C-alpha cells in the first residue's frame, strides 16, 4: 500500500534504538507516525493498556514492534526464572497482544512487522532466554500471517546493533564485545539502527512478502 496523508504507522519501541530509526524513516513519508513505549505511558506487558491504546488510536495501517530488548543471561540450569518469564511477558506476549489488538483496527493493505534477533537460530550457551523468546516469536508470526491474511505479518531479525540497549553494560566489556563482533562478522562491522530499519521498510513496502523472517545480521548466522 502506498503512503498518503491518511496513512497511520505505529512504532512500539519507537523511543529508542532500532524503533527510533524506523520511526524516523517513516516520518519522511506522507502520513502520521505514532511512537509508544513505557516512556510515553504504554507498558506492552499490560494487555488491558494495549487494548485501550489501540481503541483510542482508531484505524491504523502499519504496526512495527521493536519493544523489549531486555532478557536475563545464564545457563538453563541456573537462569532466574522470574526474570525470564518477565522478559517473555514483554517481548513475546506483548508482541502478540499488540498484533492481536492492532489487527482489529487495521485497514485493508495493512502490515505488522515484529522483531526477533539472530539468537533465535544461533546456538550460544548462556543466552537461551533470547533464543527461546525470539524463536517462539518467529514461529508464531508465521501462524499469524496465515490467520490474519490478507494483512501481512513479517519479522525482522537483527544481529548485533549499536543501540541504547547496551547502555547498561560496563563500557570496557561493551567495547570489547563490539570490537570482537566487528572483526569476526563476515560484514566486518556492527549493525547501525538505520541498517536494520531498512528491513522494516522492505517488509512494509513489498506486497508479496508475508510470513517472512528478514535477517539483517552482518552474516552472524553463517559465521
Ligand atoms: N540491538 C541489538 O544488538 C539487537 C540484536 C538482536 C535483536 N534485537 C532486538 O531488536 C529490538 C530493538 O532493540 P534495540 O536495540 O533497539 O533496543 P532499545 O534501544 O533498548 O529499545 C527498546 C525499546 O523498547 C521499549 N520497551 C522496553 N520495554 C517495554 C515495555 N514493557 N513496554 C513498551 N515498550 C518497551 C523501550 O522504551 P521504554 O524503556 O521507554 O519502555 C525502547 O523504546 C528488540 O526486540 C531486541 O531484542 C536487538
Residue-wise pLDDT for 112-144, tens only, equals 999 999 999 999 999 999 999 999 999 999 999
Residue-wise pLDDT tens digits, 197-215? 999 999 999 999 999 999 9
The burial of 6, by beta-carbon neighbours within 10 Å (0-12 exposed, 13-18 middle, 19 or more buried), is given as exposed
Q: Under CATH, what is the fold of the domain 8-214?
A: Rossmann fold (3.40.50)
* Average pLDDT rounded to a whole number, residues 170-187: 94
Q: How far apart are CA 168 and CA 75, in angstroms?
A: 21
Instruction: Compute how many other C-beta atoms are within 10 angstroms of the C-beta atom of residue 136.
Output: 18
Instruction: Compute how many other C-beta atoms are within 10 angstroms of the C-beta atom of residue 109.
Output: 14
- 155 Cβ closer than 6 Å to some ligand 1 atom: no
Query: How much of the chain exceeds pLDDT 70, in percent?
Result: 100
Cα(13) to centroid of ligand 1, in Å? 6
Is 49 a residue whose pLDDT tops 70? yes
Cα 63 to chain centroid distance, Å, stands at 10
Cα(56) to centroid of ligand 1, in Å? 24
Cα(195) to centroid of ligand 1, in Å? 16
Q: Which residue has the cell 520511526?
A: 23
Mean pLDDT of the chain: 97
Is 1 a residue whose pLDDT tops 70? no
- 127 Cβ closer than 6 Å to some ligand 1 atom: no
Predicted pLDDT at 2: 87
- 216 Cβ closer than 6 Å to some ligand 1 atom: no
Ligand 1, atom 14, lies closest to the CA of: 17
Cα(209) to centroid of ligand 1, in Å? 24
- 160 Cβ closer than 6 Å to some ligand 1 atom: yes
Amino acid at each position: 500500500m502506498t503512503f498518503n496523508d491518511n496513512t497511520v504507522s505505529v512504532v512500539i519501541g519507537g523511543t529508542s534504538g532500532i524503533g527510533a530509526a524506523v520511526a524516523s524513516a517513516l516520518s519522511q513519508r506522507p502520513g502520521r507516525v505514532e511512537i509508544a513505549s513505557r516512556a510515553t505511558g504504554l507498558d506492552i506487558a499490560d494487555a488491558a493498556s494495549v487494548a485501550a491504546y489501540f481503541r483510542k488510536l482508531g484505524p491504523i495501517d502499519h504496526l512495527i514492534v521493536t519493544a523489549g530488548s531486555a532478557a536475563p543471561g545464564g545457563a538453563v540450569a541456573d537462569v532466574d526464572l522470574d526474570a525470564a518469564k518477565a522478559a517473555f511477558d514483554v517481548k513475546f506476549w506483548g508482541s502478540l497482544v499488540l498484533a492481536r489488538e492492532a489487527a482489529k483496527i487495521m485497514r485493508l493493505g495493512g502490515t505488522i512487522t515484529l522483531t526477533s534477533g539472530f539468537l533465535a537460530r544461533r546456538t550460544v550457551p548462556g543466552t537461551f532466554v533470547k533464543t527461546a523468546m525470539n524463536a517462539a516469536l518467529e514461529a508464531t508470526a508465521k501462524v499469524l500471517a496465515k490467520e490474519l491474511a490478507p494483512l501481512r505479518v513479517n519479522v525482522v531479525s537483527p544481529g548485533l546493533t549499536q543501540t541504547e540497549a547496551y547502555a547498561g553494560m560496563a563500557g570496557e566489556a561493551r567495547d570489547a564485545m563490539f570490537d570482537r563482533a566487528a572483526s569476526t562478522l563476515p560484514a566486518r562491522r556492527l549493525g547501525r539502527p538505520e541498517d536494520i530499519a531498512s528491513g522494516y521498510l522492505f517488509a512494509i513496502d513489498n506486497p508479496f512478502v508475508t510470513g517472512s523472517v528478514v535477517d539483517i545480521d552482518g552474516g552472524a548466522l553463517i559465521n
